[in-house]
Chains A and B, each alone.
Chain A
Amino acid sequence: MKINAVNLTETEYALPGNRTCPGCALALAYRHILKALDGQVIVTVPASCLTVLHGMYPISSVTVPCVNTPFATTGASATGLLAGLRATGRKGLTVLGIAGDGGTHDIGIQSLSGAAERQEDFIYICYDNEGYMNTGNQRSGSTPLGAITGTTPVLGKRQNAKDIAAIMEAHHLPYIATANASYPLDLYEKVRKAKDIKGTRFIHVFTPCAPGWQYPYSDTVKIGQLAVKTGLVVLYEIHDGAFRLTSASASLASKGKLKPVKEYLATQGRFEGITETQISQLQNWVNTRWQCYLERQRNSQTATSGTESEPDI
């Protein structure tokens, strides 16, 4: 059954009234992630905005069991939960490690890589707000070129973000996907699919951050969509090595054309100081990447001799 806004489960696991900022894309993403897992999950979370969302002792806004673990340890903590569940004979639970981009691209990459290499049987979700937002917006390995942050306050970031999904692909994982909080049903379907696959599954979720990126709180969904329409974010999945563009990225590939990145950059205060050179560097980066994805899509289609039609959800 194709999921839509009408038949999506009504059970809420991330309750309203949490401690995130207004317009938080993580709150939107997390709500759909937990729905996709039917709440049958043990979550491990490092220091991050999700820690804030979860609440303060003794009150939490989520109804799934969770362990908070130090910043660098998400992959190891998930490994420990799995080992403990196996050792005590408990079955039927999904272990979910969920961390921000700092906790994934930077400080947590060692334990994530270790767990992925061991093919630990869990879902890892990186929600990416492109910086250390919980500490007030500092640069991370995922901050884009040209963005002003607390630690790139004058010149803006002078490097591109690292491609975490490609790094994880090099670990030969059974399932890798990118997603975006502005396309919650695509995210839902990917988590749902990942749930039934064995091994380490990695999902990279784009989650715009209104205070950090400096745009109006009401624009989160629009900004997330614009990131896909400009090709800065590409939605895809790689299942057992087969690459497939999904959702809005699939539509763009078949009948659309990318908007210029300039349009996206103009919506956010963090790019106020970006230079023309940096803009064209970013545009070139996007163009090259997009061609690469289109090529992978074509190669996959040739390999499987067929294409799945994809509604724009």
Chain B
Amino acid sequence: MSSYHRYHIETEPIPNLAGHPNRFVVKVRRVKLAELLIKELLRERFDLAVVASRPCVYGVFSRPIGGFAPKPQFCVGCLRCTVQYPDVVQIHPNPARLELGDSFMTPDQVDTILYEAASGRVPVRGAGYRGPFAGPGWDGLWTDMSEIVRPTRDGIHGREFISTSVDLGSKPAFLDFDSSGNPTGATPKTIILPIPCLFDPPPTTVSDRQVWRAFSEAAGALKTLMVLPVRSMLELALQGPQFAPVVTPANLADLDRLSEPPRMIELEGWQPEAFEQLQRAFPKAVVGIRMPYSDEVVELARRGVGLLHLTADYHGGTGRGFVMDAIRAAHESLVAEGLREQVTLVGSGGIAAAEHVPKAILCGLDAVALDTPLLIALQGRFRGECADPLTAEVEFPALRPAWGAQRLCNLVASWRDQLLEILGAMGLREVRRLRGELGRAMFHADLEREAFASIQGFEG
């Protein structure tokens, strides 16, 4: 009997708890509207069916008194009303939206995440792209597509059969066997996650236990891992297979207080003795090092570290450029040394939208640990800049863990579906194949140089 089980995330509509600014402000000059209606009544000889026919098909000027009490929450910004009646109505972008997010997480990204968290669906809209041609960071990267290669010839698009599973842990370059055929040396020690996304903990300033519980329940439902300090696990009584505790050399003993041995442990910073101690104490667990992006990646891989969780700040800052470039550098240095298959790279920081996940994997990560998007999904409002995990302040509505967990599941479901769109377009059957596939990445600077180098004024 086949053990195949198709991974599926249950989604359900979960509306926002707190108010959210409308996209548009509807301004109506009521005197002008009254004049217009009187003119129309006279012109149409009091045919109310004609006079009452409104220009809005979305209900902004619907009953009971139409434009005299417009409903801006229904406005989608089509502008038909203002095109038809410039003297009566104007539609303005809502300035309150500018307060959403911060200098990295844009109001549009906040809007999108809230839609994804509320619906679990892929955002689909008409018309073409509306933004800047390219930009710094992730906006300087396009993924490739294939005209004819498909993940599989089955199904409508083939994407129904794409795997998003990833392996975390170490895989030796080769296996040794004794004369009986039994492996004698290092063997693969990995855990498989059904999605290439883990949860990073909320900022340390977040004291609302319901938020932590929402994270915890969602990680369990998604069969992924929530990374969090072991002290927080103990203080909040969060225990279960979905947790990957973070420890420092000073608090290794706290792991003994957990009710069950963890599947994955992250050691904060490289400390060889502590690393060895953890490996001995938890032989079945994947033990990784959590550290900022650095040149030590190759050295640690050589010393047998099978998982590196590389951290940037929430804005993707690494102290050595944007996280996209730091991921590439780490990945390429491991490839150059022939060590890439022996270590898993998990990265966090700088992920603010669904497309950033495949782009980060394309640049070289095996999996992404999500942070700020999870906060936004729970309608967290940033208080000032949300860049430093130690100091960032986020305000949440009064929430129930079940509400939050479903919002997080919806968000991840939507992001997974969007990952499938990218993989389908590229003709890849599993996300493992996307990792570090830089030949299928198109960088703005490279394309611009190739296309425009001979044009006068181009300086590359």
Instruction: Report whether chain A binds chain B.
Output: no
Q: Which residues of B contact A (CB under 8 A)?
A: none
